[in-house]
Amino acid sequence: PTNAVPRPSFAQELWIDWLGIDTREETFLTLETQILLHNTDIDAVQAALAEIITSHEALRYSFDKSGDAFALEINKPEEFAADIEDISHIYDQRDATAELLLIAKAFSQILLPASGKWLFAARIVILANSSIAVLMRANHLVVDAASLEIIKQDLVALLHPTFRQTQSSRVRYADF
């Protein structure tokens, strides 16, 4: 039925109910990854992230606790926005690396509680010489470490079609 309320999966129910997880404080269940892209423009990265969010419903999940039960909410893909930081004015590689590390550390402190709006976050950092760093974090309720690596590969495949051709037989995140 079209008016059915989505339910968390059995595995998600285990994390939430059986383990007694407080959905407001699940910081220990956050996974992160990063990727450095060369000769890539910001618009292409934003479009690729939008495609990944649109294609993979689990990345749009959030949970709402009403009474004793959790309801699964699916956010609209167009509401997702990656944060953007521009440090392209820093040309010294050591200084740029130090600044990128500070940005990554601050990004890793962002909480992604199950009761929050998004359980997936991305930050795009524009570097000098047409390079971009993409930082991604996700709550373990929506991805595991292997899935996050597959999402990273999907991002590269969307940005570089030659990579997609060499990886045509590999597993995609949508296969899980």
Token couple for 162:
């030659």
Amino acid at 74: I
Q: What is the pLDDT of residues 100-151, one digit of tens each?
A: 999 999 998 888 877 778 889 999 999 998 899 999 999 888 888 888 889 9
Confidence of residue 51 (pLDDT cuts 50, 70, 90): very high
pTM of the model: 0.77
DSSP 51-96: HHHHH-GGGGEEEEEETTEEEEEE--GGG---EEEE-TT--SHHHH
The more confident residue out of 23 and 141 is: 141
